[in-house]
Structure 1
Amino acid sequence: MEKSEFERVIEQLPIGACIINQDMTITFANPTFLGGLTIRQPDLVGQPLLTVFEEQARFLKRKIDSVFILKNPSFSYWQQRPHVFPMRSSRPITGDESQMYQNVQFMPLSNENAEVTHVSIFVTDVTAEASYFIQQSDLKNALEDEHQQLKALHQELKVAQKKMLQSEKMASIGQLAAGVAHEINNPIGFVSSNLETLKDYALKLIKTTQTQKKIIVKQAEDRFIKLLEDVYERQGVDFILEDLPELLDESLDGAERVKKIVNSLRDFALSDEESWMEVDLCAEIESTLIVLKNELKYKVQIEKQFPAEPVFLWGKASKIRQLLFNTILNSLQAMVSGGTLTIECKQEQDKIKLIIEDTGAGIAESDLERIFDPFFTTKEVGQGTGLGLSEVYTITEEHEASVDVLSKVGEGSRFVFVFNTPKSS
């Protein structure tokens, strides 16, 4: 009776669960695990885990081996590896089917002799964390509502005054972003440095340990060699020596990714009071896409068409960043239900051409002539200030460049910028 009740509880858990033995064969899988899979597998019991999930076999084997050898649980969080198993998840906000973001736990199962005979795998759906981005959207809408309340006063000011207010707002945001980037840079700097040193220490210790073992095996008596091998086996030393460099490489890779994000945030926040210089257009696009990562997630596919060599234009870096930010953000906001954002930059003789194209809602022909006017917007009340594209046009004129817009309702919009190449010294 108790076993039957236990089985019913396991089958109804909203967490995917399966069990494997020492041969990596699946001995149990609950309905949540089976039902979430996107691959057609009527019954997984009796099948080899590493064959069924071939793409993740190397990762799964390393995790499971660590549980059998070290007799400790192992974990995989979605930030590190979002899709361990090919599973679907229904997003709570939109109801759209998407890949499940997972936290995976690998837990040892021991017998009465404390020997690990099986490993249980628990898969938890954490896709709901996408609600974080809804909170960010609500915050943005609240800020835009404040701008809307000031609109009546702004209309009475000259265009120059309106642009100055917008510049001050962007400067405030820039100062905040620069401060955040500075605060993060300090700890991530010494973490990266310590990890590099730790990796160097680890490699030296591994080499020393391996050399010591070789010497002992050659010189020591059989009873000492057997004792050493027993210690190595019980402590999982061979596995640790193999796994340690890879763990440190993963940690260094994570720290490097944080550095790139912080550097992009810092670059975006730089003051626009700067000299004219050569600006690497493709690099600035990459930086802007990192800053806009929250807007991109879950809905927009990015297609980049960049030449092999860097493309330099003559201008102010912060202004170009603002132009890219406003134009790309405008395209993303036009693709409410998802779509494709295509960005192309190329050099044609003495000119640089930048094309930003989306598959969004498009712009009505009657509105095309007004999209660069200050405070003109087709968005609903509270959804936009109408200053973004106006600023884009001002920056374009300041750089003695040109911009053309082609758009069709229901199909999307295409912004084509033409800039000057760097001036020869």
Structure 2
Amino acid sequence: MLLTNSMRRKLGINLALVVLMLLLFSVSSLLGIVSYRRMVSDLALSITNIPRRDELVATLTSLVKPLQAPIPGPTAPVSSQIDAAKAQYRHFGQVFSDVEERVANFQQQCHNLPESLRPSYPEESSYNSMFLTVKNRLAQLRSEQDFVFDPRLRAEFHHDVIRTVAELTSIAEKLPDPSNRLGERLKEASEDYKFHFRMVMATGLISLALFSLLSYWTWKWIFAPIHRLTVGVDKISSGDYGFRLQVDTTCELSQMGQTFNKMAAKIEQDQRDKEREIAERSKQLVQSERLAGAGFLASGVAHEINNPLTVIMTAASGLDRRLTDDVLSSMSDKDRKRVHDYLQLIQSETERCERITKKLLDFSYGSGDERNLYDVVAVAQEVASMVGHLSKYQDRTVTVNRTEPLHAWVNGPEIKQVVLNLVANGLDACSSGGRVDISIEELVDDVQITIADNGSGMSPEQRQKIFEPFFTTKEIGKGTGLGLSITHRIVADHYGTLEVASDGPGQGSTFTLRLPKREARSSAA
């Protein structure tokens, strides 16, 4: 559990391990210094045990000391001479034995020197030669020791001892002193100790600096980005979808930050799309409620008006048939013409009222529900060709951007009526030389038909009401205000969308129609 709670804890443990390694390094270095210092101390204490050349010379010189004891002359009693000779003999023997022992110890100490203090091979050969010479000379003196009792040979023995000591001391003084080497070695050890001590102190300071740098680097490049990422997640969860991370690294955390920003942008865009969709759905719901109310009213009005219109039409037709010239013979030609004109006017206006009521009924009930795959490109081209032959649109242009078939799951005649209404409205909004462009493109699930004109355009208030029943931007008597309402109703029945856009009056208008490509969408709806 300690290593799985959080990434910060994991990195903290790694940092603690680094600190532990640094501490171990420091402790081991200090222990090494302490050990090295102890070695120097032991080396200093061992100076007293190293063989010294001066001590060897003093030992050899001590052989002369017993010979300095006075011996009575020839005039002295013989017994006194003998006693003095015996005392000198014993003293010389003791000193001689001590010299032999010290020389042997000196030789053993030289042999036991450590490698760092041992003399070089030529120096070691000189020492061995000296020890052999000392051994031979001492053996010779021991063989002449009895000359002390002979007054005739005593003086010669004294001279031999002095000469031998002088020879041996001269040889010893020419050899290098091992103690001098120890002093040099001790000086080197002290210098090494000081150097290593300074090196460990410098290493400790460098380690401390590196640790501080590592701590700063870890916080700046690891902990701080993680903290910012955590803050970002909290802000996103609290609804602040516009928050973005400042990514200033090049490692995995940078990729994580970039991914987070992409995710936040996606969430923000989805949120905006949902809000826009909710607004559009609400608007469509209100529009549908209005259309339903208008359709219900239109249905009742159309039924109520149709009956008297039928009576009026029948009566007008009957009068027109019965009012012959014989019946109207009593009238002047002017009056007869006026009667016929009035009857024709009644019939034409009655027919126009019937067409209006038919539109009302179509708006109320809609057409059939037959759906199939229709080529909307062919529908658009047929509409463009049809309006191109109308005389009132001869001075305007209608274009279609593609010829390749593109199918949608629709009711063909109804969608033809939708496209025709939109194109006709666009042409009516254009002046002479105007144009209407039909653009058709395939989307993932829909077919999008865009009908754009360069006509009179619309204000924001007009765009808000453009799909409401009986609302029209045309002059009075030139439009019923039902065309776009019926068009919107048909598109809604197809589970499609119809949107309008305009930059303002005089800037033209663009209607965007989307229809489903597959039956599943309409079924699912």
- Flag whether TM exceeds 0.5 (same fold): no
TM-score, structure 1 normalization: 0.36
Larger Rg: 2
Structure with greater proportional strand content:
1
TM-score, structure 2 normalization: 0.30
Structure scoring higher RCO (CA < 8 A, sep ≥ 6) equals: 1
